[in-house]
Chains A and B, each alone.
Chain A
Amino acid sequence: MAGVQVANVSRSFGAHKALDDVSIDFADGGFYALLGPSGSGKTTLLRQIAGFDFPDAGRIAIGGESVERVPVEKRRIGMVFQNYALFPNMSVADNVAFGLSVRGEPKATIATEVQRALDLVQLGKLGGRKPHQLSGGQRQRVALARAIVTKPRVLLLDEPLGALDKALRVDMQIELKRIQREIGITTIFVTHDQEEALTMSDRIGILRDGRLVQEGPPEEIYDRPQSEFAATFLGDANIFRGDATGSGIRLPDGTTIAASTGASVPAGAKASCAVRPERIRISTGAAKPDAGNANTLKGQVSRRIFAGNNSTYFVDRDGQTLKVIVQNTGAERLAEGQPVVLSWSPDSTVLIAA
């Protein structure tokens, strides 16, 4: 097993820059999510690491060994495809055995290894079935068993759960994470599902238009996004734009918002603030000012969406609609049209350089 280093990798298709000077270090044994909207270059990056495509510039190393010109079959990687890509003409066991068999391993070794891999994904008894006799989740497990049975240095997953329904997807997320921990393999996971990225990975890299926007542990990206894009793509955020004051920003109408996390922006420069909807308190009257709710704004409820354990309020304020998520604790529910006061702490406010 090994870490993966991607350094200054660029790749263009015609005039389109699919990857633009991307550098990421994937540490040995980590679980990484590459997150981004479609067309952001996340799959292109995965294909460069896999070796299906070679970068125009930059370096890719697996376990310290440069591989950017090594074809895929010599890279010793395991890959799980979005549509599973199981060989329809082979049984489940033969699918899993494929990688060992092309390597010319002895039959007895293959049989034991295949059984072990199938047991690991809890499909030990289904070796004789054909792929078309399996459910989506089972095919997914076969694809995973097939990818790890060869003991690859890196496991690459291309939106592996995209074709599964919601409940099954959550099961598979847990399952995938368990298996990854059990064999301790460096795993790189491409997804456009931010929730999946947050719950599964040790680190997340957010891509946009072929560039790496931000990279770090999920908590760090969520709590301290470095750009409006990162703030709004990973989770929800209310964005305020104004001029930096040194300790926050001043909105065009003169209101100041204090921010104690995020970038340091020189006073007078353009800047924005991001606040997560669940960090904002909503009340009908003015709350007692204290350090915990130093930022206050007045507004009016325009819509409320009830979602069981929580409610989302949309609050109109000076032409901007703010989003507030409140846990349903049985307290009074606010009616649409009601004037409200929003308050939140400067600690929950992230300053972002424009």
Chain B
Amino acid sequence: MSKVEKDEISGTDTTGHEWDGIKELDTPMPRWWLWTFYATIVWAIGYWIVMPAWPLISDHTRGMLGYSSRANVEQELAAVEESRADVLKALRETELAEVKDNQELYQFALTGGRSHFAVNCSQCHGSGAQGGPGFPNLNDDDWLWGGSVDDIYQTIQYGIRSDHEDTRVGNMPAFLKDEILERDQVSDVTEYVLSLSQEGRDAEAVARGKEVFANECASCHGENAKGGRDFGAPNLADAIWFYGGDKETIYKTIANGRANVMPAWEQRLDDAVIRQISLYVHSLGGGE
């Protein structure tokens, strides 16, 4: 039902539609708007021709200008790499312990180290390097294999119990599973280890365990159980536990052994990147 009428007040025609007595004026578009609209159409056609636009079945139209966002990204990445070449070279050629003397280089290494850590290391060590059971916390002052920046560098390069020929290896034997100790003996040693950091353990068991410890464990963990970095043997007398400090976990560790692996990164990452990560980890608060 449409009847175009002329509106008396404005002198404009109505659209002819009516909704519950409400009619709408057929006010024409402003000219500037129309011309802008036409211009965008012309622009769009031009755009189809010069820029990549239409999807095809297995490809898309390339456009006359040959623009490609992928190529742009590659170019930008190459430019970034080039701009960093000098500082990366300096990093490779500076002794790790001396990088700190060059604040600009040091800050570069820390910033880069943080993001490389997030990409490569955080999966096991956590995004804040706080670790977890079986994965050392890198913020604290307890180090299995040494906490100087060179030690950290070596650990990242060659890994621990990794498949690299220069890897460092320390074995925690499975004392019960491999029938080195009896069930009771394992239990006694557990009591002894707990007594190093806790009071009120079973005194008799502790005395028996101490004897077993001196025979079987002290060669790696040391006579006073303060650990040994040559074998990556943890300090058992401090407040930090690698796998957990409750009785059950310690028993399990002694009975079944432990052999977690830190991969070697020498083949996977650029030396400058490993150096950045080493400096970053060293800066987290526990570096020696």
Q: Do A and B come from one complex?
A: no
